[in-house]
Every structure is written in structure tokens, then in C-alpha cells.
Amino acid sequence: MKRYHVFVEGRVQGVGFRGFAIMNAQRRNITGSVKNLENGMVEMYVQGEEDKIDEFLAEIEKGNRFIRVDNISVKPSPVVEGEKRFSYAR
């Protein structure tokens, strides 16, 4: 089990990025959260099996016809025991 603190830059606000992230995380049984930041970036915490996180980040990086990812920053973070889902952060 791994957990990462992720920042995503690009056209990632106002284009359905958070919903896209939640859908892709749920498909892979990844837990964590996603949140828009005031500087236009998106912050995520992702937790799960490393191969599933790698798949998730690859899918996020590809984006879709609305989402354009220019940069992803990924740093290890302590695992949160008992986390059950991937959702919007407050």
C-alpha cells in the first residue's frame, strides 16, 4: 500500500477534472481526495496498490478532450489507515 501527494498543472479546472479523477480512482480501488487550488492547479492524495496508482496517474496524464495536463508532481505521503473512498476534499 502506497500513498502519494500529487499536484496537477494544466487545463484542469472548469473541465470536469475532479469527476474524471474520481471515476478513474474508483475503477482501480484507489482511495484519497481531489481538490481545486486557488492557483489553478489541482491537489490530490492517492492511496492504493502501486501498480494501480501508476495506471491511475497514466490515465490522468492523458486527460481527455477537455482536460490538458502539462505537469504532474508526485511525492510520497504517509498511508492513512481506514480510508475507504476517493472523494472531493474540503
Give the cell for residue 42. 489541482
3-state helix, strand, coil in the chain (%, to 5): 25, 40, 35
- The predicted pLDDT at position 69 comes to 97
- The pTM of the full predicted model, rounded to 2 decimals, is 0.94
Residues in the chain where the model's pLDDT stays below 70: none
Q: Which residues are catalytic?
A: 18, 36
| pLDDT value of position 90 | 77
2-78 has which CATH code? Answer: 3.30.70.100
C-alpha cell at 63: 486527460
Which residues have a Cβ under 8 Å from the Cβ of 81 and sit 6 or more positions away? none
Report pLDDT for 76: 98
